[in-house]
Amino acid sequence: MRIAKVLLAAGQSSRFDGCKLIANVGNNKTMIARAVDVLQQLDAGAVYVVSGAWHNEITQALKHYNNVEIICNLDWQQGLGKSIALAANQLRHSDGWDGILFMLADQVELEACDIQQLVTRFQNNPTRWCANYGERLGVPAIFPHDDFDLLTTLSNDKGAQHLLRESGGIVNCVLLNKASADIDTVEQLNCYTAKQALN
């Protein structure tokens, strides 16, 4: 079963002083590189990175990576939904995808083993699967091929949240508390790196 891996990284980082995706998150690794590493550990398939506001910076940060395809979202200001739609539109024209996995580039506490839980369950039951943060549902999430056309219609900053929470369709979830941890500010980054240094 083939699952396309999509990393959403088009936002402006408006609450951060500059491009958070090229910030060092420990071990001399940028946030975007860490996220790519996590997805590359799942299988040998390409990682699709949707860039936008910081396209040049992301391209530079990933220039030494193999098997990464960058999709530039020129309409990144329209929100996360536009990035999802752009990726889904490109991938639905490729034969053989059974599903699309979406992950945010700033979900810094997620490991490959966490994502693998979603992948394994999707392989056994190819319907919508997503993370349960404990209080809400969200990404990382996997959508089956039957959702591809619907994903291409998304256009706002809610992304695919309404498909997971409000659509009335069947949504399966895995408890992944670590998925709720992301980086929006320099202060959050400093707390995260300080905690990493103690481990």
AA identity, residue 106? D
Give the pLDDT confidence score for residue 14 in this predicted structure.
81
| Confidence check: pLDDT of 167 > 70 | no
pLDDT at 72: 97
Task: Retrieve residue 135's tokens.
Answer: 């209080």
Residue 168 has pLDDT above 70, yes or no: no
CB neighbours of residue 108 within 10 Å: 23
In order of 43, 45, 58, 74, the CA distances from 69 in angstroms are 15, 11, 11, 16
Confirm if 71 and 9 have CB atoms less than 8 A apart. Answer: no
Q: Give the pLDDT band of residue 165 (cuts 50, 70, 90).
A: confident
What is the rounded distance in angstroms from the CA atom of residue 109 to the CA atom of residue 11?
19
Q: Is the pLDDT of residue 181 over 80?
A: yes
Give the angle subtended at the CA of 94 by the CAs of 164 and 88, to the nearest 5°: 30
Residue 83: per-residue pLDDT: 95
The structure tokens listed for 38 are: 């996590």
Q: Fill in the amino acid letter for 42.
A: L
List beta partners, residue 75.
none
Domains defined along the chain, listed by start: 3-198 (3.90.550.10)
* Angle (CA) 146 106 169, round 5°: 25
pLDDT at position 123 is 97
Q: Tokens at residue 108, please?
A: 């810094």
Question: How much is the pLDDT for 161?
Answer: 76
Q: Which residues pair with 6 in a beta bridge?
A: 48, 102
Report which of 33, 34, 107 is spatially closest to residue 63, judged by C-alpha positions. 33
| Comparison of pLDDT for 52 and 158, the residue scoring more | 52
Q: What is the mean pLDDT of residues 55-83?
A: 95
Residues 6+ apart with CB under 8 A from 98: 1, 2, 3, 126, 144, 145
